[in-house]
Amino acid sequence: MSIEKRARKLREAIERHNRLYYAEDAPEVDDAEYDRLFRELEALEAEHPGLRTPDSPTQRVGAAPLPQFDEVRHRTPMLSIANAFDEEAVGAFDRRVRQAVGADAVEYATEPKLDGLAVSLTYRDGLLVQGATRGDGTTGEDVTANLRTIRNLPLKVDFSGEVRGEVLMYRRDFEALNARQRAAGQKEYVNPRNAAAGAVRQLDSRVTATRRLRFFAYAVVSESSSSTHSQGLDRLEKLGFPVCEERDVVAGVEGLLAYYASIGRMRERLPYAIDGVVYKVNRLDWQERLGFVSRAPRFALAHKYPAEEQATEVLGIEVQVGRTGALTPVARLKPAFVGGVTVTNATLHNEGELRRKDVRVGDTVVVRRAGDVIPEVVSVQIERRPTGAQIFQMPAKCPVCGSAVVKNEDEAVHRCSGGLYCPAQRKQALLHFASRRAMNIEGLGEKIVDQLVEKDLVHTPADLYKLSSKALSDLERMGEKSAANLVAELERSRDTTLERLIYALGIRNVGESTARDLARQFGDLEPLMKAAEEELLQVPDVGPVVARSIRQFFDEPHNRQVARNLVKAGVKWPRTAPAPRPSTPVKTFVLTGTLDTMSREEARAAIEAKGHKVAGSVSKKTDFVVAGADAGSKLERARALGIPILEEKEFTEMLQNL
């Protein structure tokens, strides 16, 4: 037999064994025989490099570590799916869908909600050319080398385009991994999802290759050869992509609930972890018509299963200060095994929830892992409450920095007002300060900020401008050149604009647009810091909530001092006189739906060019709502509030006269 023919036979045999093990769960050979075949192919390709093909099984073994992942911008956003936790929410979803498409009954594609890591695969001329994580939905990480190591993921298929799916780890493979970790004296993984996600994001793909990961496809992007979602999945399966066998097509809300119950009964017997099921409108043209709301599709819903619960004792209640200043009461628990993990802490969310559930120190409580991840206290077993169980009171001062704790009427949470000063908020404050739309300090990323805070080199943003090249070069992964570059970036950032500086301060509820309006209204930092709530309310689009947030921020002496220290450090901007009040009232518009003669961006620009405002949501302060085709909930909100609604023709006529 020729060398070429032997290599081809080996490739076919290895891929067949991969399919039997990973896709069909029916291996025919043991690991030793599989490894023998694999080593023979590796040796042939090493001796004759011309035999190595892009789709060879040997290309799954991983390569040398990468310094970092490149960013991948998704051509179509990878959106999250809205959740439902009861039958009422499922019924409401079905009603909304039927009303939107004008049908008496709707067919849905259903499948288990796999608990893994969402990824996108791009094929060109039949070959896998790029694989990316979901990331923030808009931008992910290029993990192509790692995804190539997954043995049931096709490297070569008769397909060009984008496929999306989930990378996960079977329970048995997860248990075997943790057994190896224990034997090696290394830290065990919390659950299969964490293990899979960590493996996909390994810088060294050779490590990824040692994990028995699996891929399941759940969608084709911009599907044109099928008329339904289920047909698209069937096509993927025929092409050789692994697709979940437990999928189905059902009719109406009755079919959805029956499927939910059916999968629930077999949940514990499934080889992989799930936390619910997913419903998708089956017809693709109806999916397109339904579109999206915020960051989720209107045509899909995730119906979650109740999390595993366990009873345990509350040993104490403490307060944690989050990166945004939110104070969260946390129950310290007698260790309990919940959802496969030993739980010693559980969130009580906020004071309102704590009071509603009436949780006290000494109580026996029911704990569950919300969404199978975050432990929370569900309820109190009042009948087991001991005499003298202590009622917890939220602190008046931040337990970390001593700043005043504030709670606004419209919010459920208490917050530390320390902002720029509070150590618990320090890293978040510095990262926000350095972000692109704020002071735009390139090179000041999370790892550098972590070290600056942990080594006690930086306490507030003003301290950044005291850093020397010597201090920075002593940090991990910071050579002399990188340190000099960062110092130069800090020096450049001293010249900024007032609106950027206001935004960089990280005042709650003050975004870029509000920062711009504040800069125009006050012209300088000192007048803004001294402005009363009544003065702030004169700024366009600043309502009571935003005005209160600004006033609370500058009422804290620490924050005023940091702002002034920034000026002393040389941060400067072009001074301007406060903006004169407009001679005609500024109107606020909200855009919804699709316009025929212009895009939403063009409509926004036209309104702002006339000196008026465009808001993202409808409120009592909205003057007009411009409604195009397929307008959604904003139109309903406008009608409920009695706000004038303009059709496109009326809007274009008004534009000429504004």
What are the beta bridge partners of residue 249? 109
> Is residue 156 annotated as a catalytic residue, yes or no?
no
Q: In sequence order, what are the residues at sequence separation of 6 or more whose Cβ sits closer than 8 angstroms to the Cβ of residue 491?
A: none
**Could you tell me where the beta strands, DSSP code E, fall in 284-436?**
292-293, 296-297, 300-304, 309-321, 326-338, 341-347, 364-370, 374-380, 405-406, 414-416
Cα–Cα distance for residue pair 623/625, rounded to 1 Å: 7
Cα–Cα distance for residue pair 195/316, rounded to 1 Å: 31
∠ CA 7-9-10, nearest 5°, is 65
Cα–Cα distance for residue pair 26/5, rounded to 1 Å: 27
CA 458, 459, 463, 464 torsion-angle sign: positive
Asked if 597 and 629 count as a contact pair (C-beta separation under 8 A), the reply is: no
Q: Which two tokens stand for residue 414?
A: 């208490």
Q: In sequence order, what are the residues at sequence separation of 6 or more whose Cβ sits closer than 8 angstroms to the Cβ of residue 637?
A: 617, 618
Tokens 């109406």 -> residue:
252
Catalytic residue among 5, 9, 113, 357: 113
Tell me the pairing of strands 300-304 and 341-347: unpaired
Asked if 435 and 451 count as a contact pair (C-beta separation under 8 A), the reply is: no
Report which of 625, 622, 621, 610 is spatially closest to residue 658, judged by C-alpha positions: 610
Cα–Cα distance for residue pair 345/372, rounded to 1 Å: 15
Report which of 394, 403, 249 is spatially closest to residue 328, judged by C-alpha positions: 394
Active site residues: 113
